[in-house]
Structures are given as C-alpha cells and as structure tokens.
Amino acid sequence: MDAFYASIEQRDRPDLRGRPVIVGGDPRGRGVVAAASYEARRFGVRSAMPVRRAARLCPQAVFLPPDLDRYGRVSRQVMAILREFSPVVEEVSIDEAFVDLGGTGSLFGGPVEAVRRIKARIRAETGLTASAGVAANRFVAKVASDLDKPDGLVVVPPGREAAFLAPLAVERIWGVGGVTARDLAALGVRTIGQLQLLPRETLVRRFGRHGAVLHELAFGRDRSRLAPGTPTRSVGSETTFADDCGDPVRLRVTLRAQAERVGRELRAAGVAAARVTLKLRFADFRTITRSLTSDPTQDGLEIFRRAVGLLDREGAAQPVRLIGVAASGLRRAGAGQLPLLDPALLKRERLARAVDTLTERFGERAVVPATLAEPLARR
C-alpha cells in the first residue's frame, strides 16, 4: 500500500488531500514518523525519522497521531481482496503482502492481468492505491514493488532478474544495511551489478554464510517459499511521553489504553497470548523489559493486570521516557480450557467482542473502560 497511514488520513479528510501529512504525533514531542504522505516525502521526510526532525524539514505539514484501529480495519479489507485472487497470501505487515498467483490463470488471466484487477479492486473498495511487483520469486517481486510508487506496477520477466537488479543500489538487497553497505563499498561495490562481478568465494571469505546469500540474491535467485497463515509473533503498543513521566497514575492509565489496544488486535487475529512483556525506557535512555508467562489471554483487562504487576514489581523510581506492553507466545484462541472453566472470563470475553463490534463501527473511543474516560475527555 502507498503511504498507507497517511493515505487513509487524506482519504478520510478531503481538506488534507494534496497537502503534506505526517502520521506520528506532536511535532514538539519525541516520537518518530509512522508514515509520511508523498507530499511530505518531497521534503526528505521518511518513516522512522524523529518527528522533530520531520517538523524542521517540512514545517508546513499536518501532524496527526496514528489511529491503529482504523488502519487495521482497512488492512483487513485489503487482505480479504487478496485472498479472493489466491489462497496463498503471506501477510508481511499491516500494509504489505506476497501473493502466489500460480495456477490462477484460468480465473483471472495471466499474473499481470490479475494484479491489475487486484489494484483496481483495492482502489474501488478502499479509495487507496497500491503498488505491485510481479516476478518469479519473493525477493525480486519486493524490489520491483518499491520502484514505481505510488500506484505502480513493475513486471520482471523470468530470466531477466539479474539485468533488472544490476543498476540498483546494493542496499536494495535483503540484509544489506549500513554496515554491510560500507563493507561492500570498501570492495568497490555500490550497485548490485558490481556485486554480481565479485566471485562467490570472495563474498563467502569476507561475509561468511551471508556472503553466499548475497551472491544468490544479486542474481535474483530466491528459493524461499511463501508462508501463508504464518501467525503474528507478537502484538504490542508503545507510548513516548512528550516529557519524562514520573506520575504512577499516568503510567497506569497509559498501560490500560495500550492493553486494550493489544487485546483488540489479538481478538481480531483470533489468537491469545501466554506472555506479556512490559517495556520501560528511562530518561537516561536505559531500556528494560520484564515478562510474565501465564494462561493464554486476549482480554485487555487481564493483559493490563499482568503488565501493571510487572510495573509495580519493577518500581519505576526514575522518570519514564517510554512505556509499552507486548503480547507474545501466541496460539489460536480457544486452544486452552481456561475460558470453559472460568465463567467470569467467558463473560468478559463476550463483552469484549461486543465492544469490538462497536469500535469497528464507531471508532476506538466509542466504548472505553471507566479509567480511560476522563483522560479521553481531556484530549
């Protein structure tokens, strides 16, 4: 999807169309950019950039806090469309997926025609654009999908992978970050074509097993298979405070809201979490995590109770810069027997699903726990 979060904001607020939009919160705060519209990207704004730097680069931008529930609803719409074209869909993130179109020609024509139909359906049903790459494997398709944004379609015919990749920067290769790129530059390699000229043995000698992978990917050879239905490994929520927070009440209220959000995501995915992890980053940037493993749950209140227990045990004696909660150790909901043995949990689960229905229709603030009602009213 193209500038997914920012594009949803522009779609839902016509006054933002054509204007630079940055999703990531208060420009005076200490968060990072979650998404930037293409209008903002022209000024050098990029995802994961500190929001204060983004404000310096593009002071005229509209800064908005992320609405993950709304983005998640649109993501589910998009993924449902993809599954109408193939049973083999690997969700990579909230706004990206791989689709295996092998064997679907009798239904939708060739792969390129099928992708054109997918893009048209996404635009018609969500009002958003998607960019796609069509290739014989995951790696080349991913690279192709990034080259003609927004609303692009790049096709790499089988057998043309090496020629397609040759002029591109080595950073396009999976696993080539800043350190590897500098090491390759020391060998005179800045493009994938230059990497293709290096003997495999040279790369293995310099980078070990990773060198062999680099050699294969440089020629567009990727034997990895799609992993449809791969469960999410973890679900989490974090908050960076504008000013370091030493107020225990505010920390708990923040945790409560985060736990509710995590619980909703778990229920939407049909999974429950056995492990709850609390993350704290202090004013001096020291970061700690504390975890608790217990019976699987997808209940926001239970997630909060476990997280706040970890917080109380830690006894945050110094101001907190960031607080977060994550749920992992995921398994399919209902795999255990606890809900059947505990009527209170079963009742709370039914209540949570009823609230989910209202949230889906009316937004995240339609129904909230009483402890969050007053903070929301002050926003």
96 assigned to active site: yes
Q: What is the DSSP string of 257-297?
A: HHHHHHHHHHHHHTEEEEEEEEEEEETT--EEEEEEEEEEE
Return the ∠ at Cα 87 (arms to 83 and 88), rounded to 5°: 100
Q: Which of 237, 332, 319 is nearest to 276 (CA)?
A: 237
Give the whole-angstrom CA distance, residue 81 versus residue 199. Answer: 43
Catalytic, out of 96, 216, 238, 364: 96
Helix (H, G, I), strand (E, B) or coil at 328: strand
Give the whole-angstrom CA distance, residue 132 versus residue 60. Answer: 31
**Strand 62-64 to 21-23 pairing:** parallel
Q: Which of 230, 238, 174 is nearest to 34 (CA)?
A: 238
Helix (H, G, I), strand (E, B) or coil at 76: helix
Q: Report phi then psi at 371, rounded to 5.
A: -65, -20
Distances in whole angstroms, Cα of residue 343 to Cα of each of 151, 237, 242, 338, 340: 50, 29, 41, 9, 7
Which are the catalytic amino acids? 96
